[in-house]
Structure 1
Amino acid sequence: MFLLAFGVLFTAALHLVAAAPSLKARIKQRLGERAYGPLFGIASIIGIAIIVLGWRSSDFVAVYDPPSWGRHANYLLTPIAFVFLGIFLFRGSWRQKVRFPMAFAVIFWAIGHLLANGDLASIILFGGFLVYAILHIVIGTLNGVRPSPVVREGHNLLSVLGGIALYGIMTQLHMALIGVPVFQLN
């Protein structure tokens, strides 16, 4: 569980830098403008790999019984999370209105999974990212963070289509990456 907790903390701290523009600017200045993006990407991949390894190596420790409807709620909340991910990835006007679409994606994803799972590893992973996303919105709001002002025609539709497509891809990869099937047909 330590590896999982470390991965969540590392990844959350890394991504909270975006909510504090002055800190991000100092880091960019120290690393160099051209090096920042690739190094951030590599660090993000490392963080996700640590999380996946930590998740897969964690023993099941039951903490609470999820509600009987929790799995169904997760089937509703996770596709919504992926639509918010699509809003984050594309440059439509919805990105301006939502302001923190990635954080909202994480919130919907985390709440859905906490309703469907009651084990310690789930609490560490999904609870940790839920706290991160809320902190990101609060810190970002206090620092006046706004999305790029660039708005592209047709990107609202692409946000929805892209989010749904990514959800479909993740449902197929979930077992291979996470070790848990999204849908269990009995």
Structure 2
Amino acid sequence: MNYLISGLLLFVVLHSLRIVVPSFRDRLIAGLGKPLWFSIHGVLSLVSLWLIAAGYGESRQSPLWIWFPPLWLNHVTLLLMLVSFVYLVGGLVPGSHIRRFVRAPVTFGVILWSTAHLLSNPTTADMLLFGTFFVWALLLQRHVLSRPHQPASATLSRTLLALAGALAAYLLVLFWLHSALIGVSPLS
């Protein structure tokens, strides 16, 4: 569990600098230069993800169950995950209506992703992992909503591209990637 906690702390700190201490982050970038800063940030982000994955995998060897979810919650999880992919992918496609009308769609997608997983994964490690991402994304969303918003233009073709990409990513994760990376099929 120490790896999981360390990875979560490193990830949250790295990805909260812009909000919590923006002047410190700006000084780091100015002192190191953008290429070095983004290289260090990228490497530390990968380290944090590795720690999270290793710690989560380790905690799954002897899980401590908090409750036992009813079977129907798996269906709710699958539906929430489809919607979360729409926000995650739609937020990454410039010119999509999702990006135009939803403030911080990627962050909202993380909120839906973590909520979906909290519903159907009731161990202490799950609560720690998905609960941390849920709280972090909520705080990030609150920060984003406090800033002025200038909607960009959007086109139907870019929106359809985002929706097609979201569906393709969802199906890829559902039928292959989740099992390959996590070792658990979402359909089981």
Could you state the TM-score of these two structures normalised by the residue count of structure 1?
Answer: 0.86
Q: Structure 1 residues 22 and 91, CA, compared in 2 at 3 Å: closer, same or farther? A: farther
Residue 11 of structure 2 aligns with an amino acid whose one-letter code is: T
Root mean square deviation of aligned Cα: 2.2
- Structure-2 residue corresponding to 1:103: 107
How many Å separate the matches in 1 of 2:17 and 2:91? 17
Residue 91 of structure 2 is aligned to residue 88 of structure 1? yes
How many Å separate the matches in 2 of 1:102 and 1:18? 16
Counterparts of 1:79-158 in structure 2, within 5 Å, are 79-92=82-95, 93-142=97-146, 144=147, 151=153, 153=155, 154-158=157-161
- Structure-2 residue corresponding to 1:52: 53
How many Å separate the matches in 2 of 1:99 and 1:117? 28
The structure 1 residue matched to 2:184, chosen from 165, 180, 184, is: 180
How many Å separate the matches in 2 of 1:145 and 1:163? 27
Deviation at 1:73, TM superposition (A): 0.7
Q: How many residues align?
A: 182
Identify unmatched segments of 5+ residues in structure 2.
none
- Structure-2 residue corresponding to 1:4: 4
Deviation at 1:146, TM superposition (A): 5.5
- Structure-2 residue corresponding to 1:28: 29
Deviation at 1:162, TM superposition (A): 1.4
Could you state the TM-score of these two structures normalised by the residue count of structure 2?
Answer: 0.85
How many Å separate the matches in 1 of 2:120 and 2:11? 23
**Seq. identity, %:** 33
Identify unmatched segments of 5+ residues in structure 1.
none
Q: Structure 1 residues 22 and 160, CA, compared in 2 at 3 Å: closer, same or farther? A: farther
How many Å separate the matches in 1 of 2:28 and 2:149? 19
How many Å separate the matches in 1 of 2:84 and 2:36? 30
Of structures 1 and 2, the one with the larger relative CO (CA 8 A, separation 6+) is 1
Deviation at 1:151, TM superposition (A): 4.9
Residue 14 of structure 1 aligns with an amino acid whose one-letter code is: L
Tell me if structure 2 keeps the 8 A contact 1:83–1:159: yes
- Relative to structure 2, which stretch is displaced further, 95-104 or 54-63? 95-104
